[in-house]
């Protein structure tokens, strides 16, 4: 029986590419999403992948949603915490709501989904959690104190949970994408985007499939000795 994988923010962009790649790798894939019903319907029409709707920043919704997936589809063996939002602005102009909402969804969502699925992985002796961080959580970014803090938190969360899961056969890793050609990046003003691309050694934006291939490897049997790691997929823009 195929292992069940759930991808948060899975109906568009990087999330959809991850869903498709995991499906190709033989997983039964479930996409979680928060708002865009049309994208969820399109994903199912194109791939057959089912979507479940809830807010990953809502703790009880994650517990209930994952329990429903487990009952209707099967025990969840893989969680990819991909859901994320931006509320950019300098600290001077950033409201508390802008700070809190990004932390609630981007970082809180990782805790909520792990809380829902990690116990079952432990009991079954196998699991994969992959958290999608960001280059901006590693290097920082002007106007993103909320986003950078949340993504940086994901990298620390990954290392700590990896230590808890290791002896139970549960690996926990992160991927830190650079600038990827998605709707989120497309919203960046063209002059700013040109300056960003100029700083990427490979000379281009990344593609969603390039992130998805990294996720598929981390979720595979071949990655059993790899845990607590952050894979930077950024075209050489940030090296350390």
In Å, the largest CA–CA distance within the chain is 53
Q: What are phi and psi of 137, to 5 degrees?
A: -80, -20
User: How many other CB atoms are found less than 10 A from the CB of residue 114?
Assistant: 24
The 8-class DSSP code of residue 219 comes to: T
In this structure, are residues 28 and 34 in contact, taking their beta carbons and an 8 Å threshold? no
Three-state DSSP at 56 gives coil
What pLDDT is stored for residue 82 in this prediction?
98
What pLDDT is stored for residue 126 in this prediction?
98
Q: Which of 142, 147, 179, 240 is catalytic?
A: 147
Q: Is CATH 3.40.50.720 the right assignment for the domain spanning 4-233?
A: yes
What pLDDT is stored for residue 184 in this prediction?
75
Please state, for a pLDDT cut of 90, what percent of the chain lies above it.
94
Burial class (CB within 10 angstroms; exposed 0-12, middle 13-18, buried 19+) of 201: exposed
Compute and round to an integer the Cα radius of gyration of the chain: 17
Contacts of 3 (CB under 8 A, 6+ apart): 26, 27, 28, 77, 78
Using 70 as the pLDDT threshold, list the residues of the chain that sit under it: none
User: How many other CB atoms are found less than 10 A from the CB of residue 121?
Assistant: 24
d(CA 47, CA 221): 24
The 10s digit of each residue's pLDDT in 134-187 is 999 999 999 999 999 999 999 999 999 999 999 999 999 999 999 999 887 878
What pLDDT is stored for residue 188 in this prediction?
82
In this structure, are residues 63 and 40 in contact, taking their beta carbons and an 8 Å threshold? no
What pLDDT is stored for residue 1 in this prediction?
80
The ranges assigned to domains in the chain are 4-233
Tokens encoding 97:
């709501």
**DSSP string spanning 198-209?**
HT-TTSS-B-HH
Annotation says 147 is catalytic: yes
Q: Any idea which residue has 């009991």 for tokens?
A: 123
What pLDDT is stored for residue 192 in this prediction?
86
In this structure, are residues 150 and 103 in contact, taking their beta carbons and an 8 Å threshold? yes
What pLDDT is stored for residue 189 in this prediction?
87
Tell me the sheet residues that pair with 89.
144
d(CA 84, CA 165): 24
What pLDDT is stored for residue 186 in this prediction?
79
């Amino acid at each position: 029986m195929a292992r069940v994988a759930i991808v948060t923010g899975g109906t568009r962009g990087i999330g959809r590419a991850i869903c498709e790649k995991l499906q190709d790798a033989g997983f039964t894939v479930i996409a979680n999403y928060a708002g865009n019903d049309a994208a969820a319907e399109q994903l199912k029409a194109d791939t057959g992948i089912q979507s479940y709707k809830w807010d990953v920043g809502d703790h009880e919704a994650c517990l209930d949603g994952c329990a429903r997936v487990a009952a209707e589809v099967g025990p969840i063996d893989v969680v990819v915490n991909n859901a994320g939002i931006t509320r950019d602005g300098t600290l001077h102009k950033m409201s508390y709501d802008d700070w809190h909402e990004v932390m609630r969804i981007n970082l809180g969502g990782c805790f909520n989904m792990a809380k829902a699925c990690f116990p079952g992985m432990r009991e079954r002796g196998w699991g994969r959690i992959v958290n999608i961080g960001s280059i901006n959580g590693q290097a920082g970014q002007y106007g993103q104190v909320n986003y950078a803090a949340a993504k940086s938190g994901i990298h620390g969360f990954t290392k700590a949970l990896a230590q808890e899961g290791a002896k139970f056969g549960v690996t926990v890793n992160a991927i830190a994408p650079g600038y990827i050609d998605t709707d989120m990046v497309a919203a960046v003003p063209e002059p700013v985007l040109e300056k960003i691309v100029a700083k990427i050694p490979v000379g281009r934006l990344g593609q969603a499939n390039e992130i998805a291939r990294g996720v598929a490897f981390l979720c595979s049997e071949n990655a059993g000795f790899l845990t607590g790691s952050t894979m930077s997929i950024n075209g050489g823009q940030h090296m350390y």
